[in-house]
A and B are shown apart, each in its own frame.
Chain A
Amino acid sequence: MSKTECSHCHLEFDDSVMIEDGGHYFCCKGCQGVFELLNESGLERFYEKAAHTKLSPPTLQYEESANFDSAAFYDRYVTVNDEGFQEVALIIEGIHCAACVWLNEKALHQMEGVIDAHINYTNNKARITWADHTVKLSAIIDMIRAVGYNAFPYDPSAQEINANRQRKDYYLRMAVATFASMNIMWVAVAQYAGYFTGITQDVKTILNVAEWVLATPVLFYSGWVFFKGAYYGIKNRVVTMDILVATGALLTYIYSIYITLNQSGEAYFDSVAMIITFVLFGKFLEVLSKKHAADTLDIMSKHIPSEVSVIEAGKVELVDVNKVKEGSVVLLKSGEKIALDGEVIEGEGSIDESSLTGESRPIYKRAGDTLVSGTTSIDAVLQYRTTKDFAHSTLSNLVTLLEKAMSKKPRIEQMANRLSEYFSTAILLLSLLTFLLWWLWPHDFETSFIVGISVIIIACPCALALATPVATLVGLGLGARRGILFKEAAQLETMAQADVLVLDKTGTITKGVPEVVHVTVFKPFDESLLSALVSSSNHPVAQGIVRYLKPKTLQRLKDVEQLHARGMRAGIDGKQLLGGNARLMQEHGIEVNADSRNLVFYFAINGEIYALFELNDVPKEDSLKAIAAMKRYDIEVVMLTGDHEGSARHIAHEVGIDQVHHSLTPEEKADYIEKRQSEGKRVIMAGDGVNDILALANADIGIAMGSGSDIAIEVSDVVLLSDTLTALSEAITISKTTFKLIKQNLGLSLLYNAITIPLAMAGYIIPLIAAISMSVSSLLVVGNSMRVRWSITK
């Protein structure tokens, strides 16, 4: 059979399945619909622009868009700008190419009432401005869906907006600094040439004035951040690098003006511009590394539940969780997260409480049972009466505790900062000392002043200022490519010095979902029947069996019935298929021996048992190896879990962990971390669930699994997108290598200073040597930092 390309999404399918329409072929109704719509509204040029980019075919089912017009939604996401227009931030799903961006913007622009639609292609975030009296947000979202994409609202946090503004501010300052420094450099070339071959004083003065003009914006505009830093440093009585940079640059600038006006001697405007530019780049690298992690997290946390379906007077209405009162009746669908504490009044089903307790088995709940916020419904469809409002629910309580924990979090001062404090103080004192010594011995004020200043100029902190940011940035980049996101650069250093690694069990060491560990077949049977049966359910046990069987083709079953918390029933060719736990079998009059350490799943045909599957949460494939690797770094590995002793010990034994603490509440986990910290240890905590967040926040470094709960990701310092302990061990390797290189870099720059500063104090420094040694030391540091890349061999 030959393949044909779909006219809309450009994916290729067999001829037989394509829908033909006026010479065009479509893989599905969705693509056909979008294609027609685009042609009708004059947007067919999209296909010209998209060329043959493969798109994802549009989905036809979406939740009701009218929800977007609810007051609760407007309250949370929609802002009104100065001109009285509404604005919302959306994440657009399904953007594959620049043409997709073009199409969305164009389609929205064609709508009456939409004032501006701006989509960022890099992160798929959109900002839409519209006039609410002319068009509603639901219509805008419907339009995005109609052209084959989907949109989620998101709440751009104040932090993100700040980070963006700060980044832009740095771009502007860096642009000015770079432009001016580059121009100063070629003027300086003329200066240096003149220095060796002879130059008339009037030409020299002209060059000096040109440099003066160029250096001024660098010092006072680009260098403003250093003056600000110096001011705060003086206010807090700490000698920071900013003070050294600011005084050094300012004194050099003033001195050079004096030289220029006096028309004798050498001006150092080029040094002023270079120092500021280099150190500004170093600072910017730190700002940049923070921004990146924030971006990724926004996209991951787009599904945080913010609204629940409340049943009032027989009507279901979406209400902002913050506005749900105690005693309201809330409808919970399967797969949804429970946002408020409550009591089940109707319905039944399994609840996944692993995020709170670490217990990996689903819990069966029915009328009268309590529900805890933060847990997830697996197959439960029920109504519950809230017993607390959102602010007092377990989840919010944890968050309150968490905020306290975050403020207590130990902040380990970075080595470079500490070092630069001593360094800066020393240089300022040395320069003063040099000046005094020269002045007291038979030299005039001018010469003494020049030599004193030359100490500050030569102690150019470029290499020192670049030592940490360049190495960390290379480390962060290497981590990011391997799915390890550090939220802040300083964390690499803290992590490298850790003594204790605390691991959560469920979802961190183990897979967090049950896998088949043992199979007993009583009688041979057709596997495809069982495959079809278990594929009909999304219960973790059924899914575990699906993963075990890896079905290729599925038979069509009749009357598939999901029996809450027991299993499922179906019919085929007059046979009755039953699959589920011991209770289901007993209910159908089948005798089973229900004693097992594991979760059990029986498969019966016409009342006779054919097979027994035992499932349990098993360690991830790489856990054993990764834990062994981390122990080699002299890190003490401890397992904390809310699960009971038996399974905790069993798993710990399998992956080679000796220290196990079991049956812990979230608070107890956090207490354990605090206890270790009070012993003077640096503690890394890795976890994924809501039950780990207090511990994650308390630890020196909190590491979350990428598939973990949003809140765990939020409070952590590092996120492992690949969810494996290998990534964790790689993160430790990267941090250790980076830290080692930072130390080397600092050593290099100090060594350089130890050689040049005595020379400067003796008055031997000429401008050319100063400039060359400055560049060489900076290059050495940057070059050395690149070696982080070699820390992980492929």
Chain B
Amino acid sequence: MDSWVIAMMLGASLLLGGVALIAFLWGIKSGQFDDKEKFLNAALYDDESELNDAAQQERKKKKLREKNYKPE
């Protein structure tokens, strides 16, 4: 009975740790740690207007992409 408790706790904590690791790997892959200075200052540049900015960029990209693929 005791050993099952150990197995369960080990499994659960490794799973949680694994999730954090995967998140970290995703962060490296998507270039979030490429620039250490920017990364350290990130909190200063992370409010509503940045979100709006990002959303607007996405919209713009979509629009321009459609334009790119217009049959000539």
Contacts and interface: CB of A to CB of B under 8 A. Distances in A.
Contact of B6 (A84, A120, A171, A206): A206
Given A49-B45, A113-B64, A203-B3, A214 B14 contact: yes
B36 A183 contact: no
A115 B3 contact: no
Contacts of B61: 115-116
A545 to B, nearest CB: 43
A12 B16 CA distance: 54
Contacts of A183: 14, 17
| Interface SS of B by simple majority | helix
| Interface SS of A by simple majority | helix
A98 B44 contact: yes
B10 A187 contact: yes
A179 B25 CA distance: 11
Nearest to B11: A210
Most A-side CB within 10 Å, residue of B24, B25, B60: B60
A27 interface: no
A120 B38 contact: yes
A235 interface: no
Contact of A115 (B10, B25, B29, B64): B64
Interface in B39-63: 41, 44-45, 49, 53, 56-57, 60-61
B64 A172 contact: no
Interface string B1-31: 0110011001100100100010011001100
Contacts of A644: none
A115 B28 contact: no
Nearest to A129: B61
A412 interface: no
A176 interface: yes
B44 A85 contact: no
A779 to B, nearest CB: 26
B43 to A, nearest CB: 10
A101 B37 CA distance: 10
A114 B53 CA distance: 12
A179 B67 CA distance: 46
Contacts of A176: 21, 25
Interface string A98-109: 100110001001
A121 B38 contact: yes
B17 A106 contact: no
A33 B68 CA distance: 35
Contacts of A102: 45
B3 A202 contact: yes
B68 A206 contact: no
B25 A109 contact: no
A168 B34 CA distance: 9
Most A-side CB within 10 Å, residue of B3, B53, B65: B3
Given A115-B57, A116-B57, A172-B28, A131 B67 contact: yes
Contacts of B25: 172, 175-176
A516 B17 CA distance: 70
B24 A175 contact: yes
Given A85-B64, A101-B38, A206-B3, A168 B57 contact: no
B35 A121 contact: yes
Interface in A66-87: 83-85
A41 interface: no
A84 B64 CA distance: 10
B37 A121 contact: yes
Nearest to A211: B10
Nearest to A205: B3
A213 interface: yes
A133 interface: yes
A61 interface: no
Nearest to B38: A121
A672 to B, nearest CB: 45
Contact of B17 (A49, A131, A175, A179): A179
B29 A175 contact: no
Contacts of B38: 98, 101, 120-122
Nearest to A45: B49
A115 B33 CA distance: 21
A133 B67 CA distance: 9
Nearest to B6: A206
A262 interface: no
A690 B38 CA distance: 38
Interface in A398-449: none
Interface in A167-220: 168, 171-172, 175-176, 179, 183, 187, 200, 202-203, 206-207, 210, 213-214
A596 interface: no
A328 to B, nearest CB: 36
A678 interface: no
A171 B28 contact: yes
A312 B68 CA distance: 36
Contacts of A116: 57, 61
Given A175-B21, A183-B14, A115 B60 contact: yes
Given A98-B45, A122-B36, 20 more contacts: A49-B44, A84-B68, A98-B37, A106-B53, A109-B57, A115-B60, A115-B64, A120-B34, A120-B38, A121-B41, A122-B35, A131-B64, A133-B68, A134-B67, A171-B28, A172-B25, A203-B2, A206-B7, A210-B11, A213-B14
23 contacts: A45-B49, A83-B65, A98-B44, A98-B45, A101-B38, A112-B60, A115-B57, A120-B38, A121-B35, A122-B35, A131-B64, A168-B28, A175-B28, A176-B21, A179-B21, A183-B17, A187-B10, A200-B3, A203-B3, A203-B6, A206-B3, A207-B10, A210-B14
